Amino acid sequence: MNLETIELTKQNKIAVIKLNRPKLLNAVNEQLVWDLQKATEDVKNDDDIRVVILVGSGRGFSAGADLSERKASWKGSKDALIRGYKPFFENIINMPKPVIGAISGPAAGIGAAIAMSCDLRVMSEDSYILSVFSNIALVPDGGLSWYLPKYMGYSKAYEHAIEAKKITAQDCLKYGIANKVVPAEELESKTFEWAEKLAKRSSQSLSHTKRLMRDSLHVSYWDTFQNEAEIQNELTTSSQNREAVKAFLEKREPNFD
């Protein structure tokens, strides 16, 4: 696969998608959008991959859209968001495996939206989320207007958005945006260590739990209850469930390979 702005590596059932424009703090240009579509589609459909890590190279996760780009093919911002960005957001959200964002330095603008679209986030102590759009007289996009109120509540999310205030790693931990905060020099190793632990767990449990909890954000309690019942009915006759129960009785770790 030809990727100009991303490094995609696979090891021990873990895929690492690395945004690779470090000189521009991984600012998102059109090529990066197309590369993200390809990379997320690839790992989504790779049955050997159990966990995905999304990380930026260099000093930051992503500074947001590359405002210096002059030759993009987009016919306005709506075209960029719907034709360009939406497909890779859908891949991240819908892929049947967890996506961990490893966030260093700034995750700003559309970079913040990419970070927020991940299922889990490990943040370095010096990192932050920033809805920077109001600084250039725009509104948050990439779903950021949906994510931030879900975590922070309306008033705090609105405050941070209209004043373009950084949400520090420690504040992200407080609001539940960050799962873990670690020293900057340990970010990639700690994230990979967590990914290795998750990759050993039941793939069907990881994927169906992700789907149930994602769906729960826009359906009712009883819809979720019904979905749980149907999925549980299917999984309790599965080979992974039999292996897990057997391992429990034999007091050993289950082997889901």
Question: Cβ neighbours of residue 2 under 8 Å, at least 6 residues apart?
Answer: none
Render pLDDT for 85-126 as a digit per residue (tens, 0 to 9): 999 999 999 999 999 999 999 999 999 999 999 999 999 999
Confidence of residue 149 (pLDDT cuts 50, 70, 90): very high
For residue 28, the 8-state DSSP code is B
Confidence of residue 164 (pLDDT cuts 50, 70, 90): very high
C-beta of residue 191 within 8 angstroms of C-beta of residue 122: yes
pLDDT confidence of residue 70? 82
For residue 102, the 8-state DSSP code is E
pLDDT confidence of residue 58? 95
DSSP strand pairing (128-130 vs 167-168):
antiparallel
For residue 151, the 8-state DSSP code is H
Render pLDDT for 43-70 as a digit per residue (tens, 0 to 9): 999 999 999 999 999 999 999 999 988 8
Render pLDDT for 195-246 as a digit per residue (tens, 0 to 9): 999 999 999 999 999 999 999 999 999 999 999 999 999 999 999 999 999 9
For residue 53, the 8-state DSSP code is E
Segment 25-31 shows an average pLDDT of 97
- The pTM (predicted TM-score) of the whole model is 0.96
Q: How far is it, in rounded angstroms, from Cα 224 to Cα 1? A: 38
pLDDT at 257 exceeding the cut of 90: no
Segment 132-141 shows an average pLDDT of 96
> Which top CATH class is 6-199?
alpha beta
C-beta of residue 98 within 8 angstroms of C-beta of residue 51: yes
Cβ atoms within 10 Å, residue 9? 10
Confidence of residue 191 (pLDDT cuts 50, 70, 90): very high
Region of residue 50 (left: phi > 0; alpha: psi -120 to 50; beta: else): alpha
Render pLDDT for 174-189 as a digit per residue (tens, 0 to 9): 999 999 999 999 999 9
Token pair 């679209």 in the structure block, residue: 117
Question: Burial, 56: exposed, middle or buried (Cβ in 10 Å; 0-12, 13-18, 19+)?
Answer: buried
C-beta of residue 142 within 8 angstroms of C-beta of residue 86: no
SS3 content of the chain, % helix, strand, coil (to 5): 50, 15, 35
Helices in the chain by DSSP H: which ranges? 30-44, 77-79, 86-94, 110-117, 144-152, 154-162, 169-175, 187-199, 203-216, 221-235, 239-249
C-beta of residue 94 within 8 angstroms of C-beta of residue 138: no
| Structure tokens, 111 | 């970079």
Q: How far is it, in rounded angstroms, from Cα 134 to Cα 132? A: 6
Q: What are phi and psi of 175, to 5 degrees?
A: -85, -5
Q: Higher pLDDT residue, 162 or 71?
A: 162
Q: Which of 181, 172, 202, 206 is nearest to 98 (CA)?
A: 206
For residue 124, the 8-state DSSP code is E
